[in-house]
Structure 1
């Protein structure tokens, strides 16, 4: 899943981005409000982590402009402000959740994934497709009852395909969702990960098929 992390503290942003990337997310970063507003206008994200105290444009203004453009991307407000009035202001402007600093990384990831799951219309924590199961709270895959060992990017690609709910996704869109905007690799890297996943899923009853002109589709065979 592709995230935008908007945080003015470069040290905190770097630490948090590294932790989220280790969990399989593609993370873009912005350290001020104007850069964040530009990225939100030009790029597509699965979720946004937004600090309120930002230079050049404060977080509430970023949020207000985002919702005024009709975007429904889930937004988690992450800030040192703990006052009730700040929480209410953010929620009234369209924030989906609120987490005050300091926080536990495990809680942030759990809340973040719940937001993404709901945005994809998935209410149950367990998603199944044939013998493939995905426990979305712990973000673990099992295949035929056995844990499926995946590298972070492999996990991210399979997660995107499963959450599509039987709809195809293009190579371009899959690249956008799994790799950050400053990725040095090209879109052909998607084919490498699709190949690796096909080997993992071989003869399992679940396969990734290629639909000409549409992209990739995960289906039970």
Structure 2
């Protein structure tokens, strides 16, 4: 999952970004409203965390312009403004949630999980495909209820495949949603991590449920998962 944090308090955005990366998310950050709007309109983020008091352009203006172009990307406003009219205005302009500063990081994590589950129409925090399961809260992968040791990047890849079974996913899409802005489409990183994930799944399952569609991308075969 690829998250954008638009926040001008350096200590706060650094701690948010660090915590989310430890949770397995890919995070991009910016501290300027104009740059934040450009990123919102040009990059396919899975979720945006948006401060209201920003240099260059305020958060509500960003939200209004974003919603004119993009009605689906979840947005959580993070703001020190506590007045009910501020919350109402933010929600009316299209924010999905409003979190007042200061807040506990655990609450932010829970709200992110709630929104991302809602986006992918998930009724449970545990994603499954046959013998494979992945708990999106604990980040624990299992095969036949036995833990499968994965790196943070391998966990993110498995989660994305489980969210989109039986659909060919291009390397570009994986980079957009699982890597941050420092990785480009020519990087060998994606092949290395997918290869490692497939080896671990093959060793645990006895077969490889991820197929390589040459020239197209990768597919998690749900029928194979149920074998």
Q: TM-score, normalised by structure 2?
A: 0.91
Give CA-to-partner distance per residue, 1:77-100, whole Å, 9 cap, x none. 111112211111111111111111
Q: Contact 1:25 / 1:156 at 8 angstroms: preserved in 2?
A: yes
Matched, 1:188 2:183: no
Give CA-to-partner distance per residue, 1:142-170, whole Å, 9 cap, x none. 21101222211111111111111321210
Query: Residue 7 of structure 2 aligns with which residue?
Result: 7
User: Aligned runs of 1:174-213 on 2, under 5 Å?
Assistant: 174-183=174-183, 186-203=186-203, 204=205, 207-213=209-215
Counterpart-to-counterpart distance in 2, 1:123 and 1:64: 30
Q: Contact 1:171 / 1:187 at 8 angstroms: preserved in 2?
A: no
Give CA-to-partner distance per residue, 1:123-143, whole Å, 9 cap, x none. 332321011112234333221
The alpha-carbon deviation at position 24 of structure 1 amounts to 1.2
The alpha-carbon deviation at position 109 of structure 1 amounts to 1.2
SS at match of 2:34: helix
Query: Residue 153 of structure 2 aligns with which residue?
Result: 153
User: Aligned runs of 1:94-105 on 2, under 5 Å?
Assistant: 94-105=94-105
Query: Residue 111 of structure 1 aligns with which residue?
Result: 111
Counterpart-to-counterpart distance in 2, 1:138 and 1:159: 12
Segments of 5+ residues of structure 2 without an aligned counterpart are none
Query: Residue 144 of structure 1 aligns with which residue?
Result: 144
Counterpart-to-counterpart distance in 2, 1:74 and 1:121: 13
The alpha-carbon deviation at position 186 of structure 1 amounts to 4.5
The alpha-carbon deviation at position 185 of structure 1 amounts to 9.0
The alpha-carbon deviation at position 212 of structure 1 amounts to 2.4
Give CA-to-partner distance per residue, 1:40-93, whole Å, 9 cap, x none. 111110000011111111101100000011331000111111221111111111
The alpha-carbon deviation at position 39 of structure 1 amounts to 0.5
After the TM superposition, list the runs of 4 or more consecutive aligned residues in structure 1 that deviate by more than 3 angstroms: 183-186
Counterpart-to-counterpart distance in 2, 1:83 and 1:140: 39
Q: Contact 2:198 / 2:208 at 8 angstroms: preserved in 1?
A: no
User: Aligned runs of 1:1-221 on 2, under 5 Å?
Assistant: 1-183=1-183, 186-203=186-203, 204=205, 207-220=209-222, 221=224
Which has the higher mean CA deviation after the structures are superposed, 10-19 or 36-45? 10-19
Counterpart-to-counterpart distance in 1, 2:93 and 2:26: 26
Q: Contact 1:33 / 1:58 at 8 angstroms: preserved in 2?
A: yes
SS at match of 1:4: strand
Counterpart-to-counterpart distance in 1, 2:132 and 2:80: 40
